[in-house]
Amino acid sequence: MRANFPEGTALEQTSAFGRRIREIESSFPDVKFVSVQAGRNDSGTDPFPPSRTEIMIGPHPRDQWRQFRTKQELVGAFAARLRSEFPTTRFNFTQPIIDSVTEDTNGTSANMAVGFAGPDSAVLLELGRKAVDLLRGIPGAIDVSIEQWMPQPQLVIRPDRALRVRHGVRIEDVTELINVAIGEPVGVVYDGERRFDIVVRFKPQAMDSPDAIARLPFSGGNSGSQASTLVIRAMALGEVRLRDWWRVSRRGG
């Protein structure tokens, strides 16, 4: 089962919703186990946003079922219970193997889908709404909803080239600072056939917001000029930090 919460839902909130969904589904006596994964997978091959959750539901063997007689009854009970508690969430019920096949071939895990492509997301959304109204009027159609890929949040850092040249700062040096702050592999540990990256990164407090990243201190520049020593300094401005020659902004969230 997949749950798509409203766009912009934070990962922490999605995780809390996932725990609640696990509690609900585990309360059914015919369910053996429930596992929840919020956001993308560990390998990064599924670029899902933090508002998306995948839930693996494992029922008991059919001859041990006590509450329901068929899979359709069980799924219907799941849907009714979850949609009553999460009315703004899109739920999709499928199976692991067919889910992967349909997603690879159609770009979605739905059994049937209508796709629109184009550069204007507003136009695509309007076409999607019209398609939903049309499909819901077809006898036998259930769980009709829109699955639209929205812009993903990203951190944009652009150099102020005039200030960078004035202080003799190379883009490569500041890029390395950013990579280390956010997290950069510096080596590999091997355990038999398995390998694990050794990652160096700053404390979370130093990069928990664009403003915090903009305040990162930097060592480098023209070592012989008045504007820099080990840490770049300006004569009347005090310590020159990353914010003085880079504009840091957040887009999409």
Each residue of 119-136: b (16+ CB within 10 Å) or e?
eeeeebeeebeebeeeee
What is d(CA 18, CA 86) in angstroms, rounded to the nearest whole number? 11
Q: How far is CA 83 from CA 4, 22, 24, 90, 152, in A?
A: 12, 14, 12, 8, 26
Residue 237 has pLDDT above 60, yes or no: no
What is d(CA 214, CA 178) in angstroms, rounded to the nearest whole number? 10
* pLDDT score of 21: 92
Could you tell me the domains of the chain?
Answer: 2-109 (3.30.70.1430), 114-149 (no CATH), 154-251 (3.30.2090.10)
Residue 2 has pLDDT above 60, yes or no: yes
Residue with tokens 């880079």: 246
Q: What's 153-217 look like in SS3? A: CEEEEEECHHHHHHCCCCHHHHHHHHHHHHCEEEEEEEECCEEEEEEECCCHHHCCCHHHHHCCC
pLDDT digits (tens, 9 = 90+) for 28-70: 999 999 999 888 766 656 667 788 888 899 999 999 999 998 9
* pLDDT score of 10: 82
Mean pLDDT (whole number) for 143-169: 70
The letter for the amino acid at 140 is G
Pick 129 or 182 by higher pLDDT.
Answer: 129
Residue 251 has pLDDT above 70, yes or no: no
Cα pseudo-dihedral 137, 139, 141, 144, rounded to 10: 10
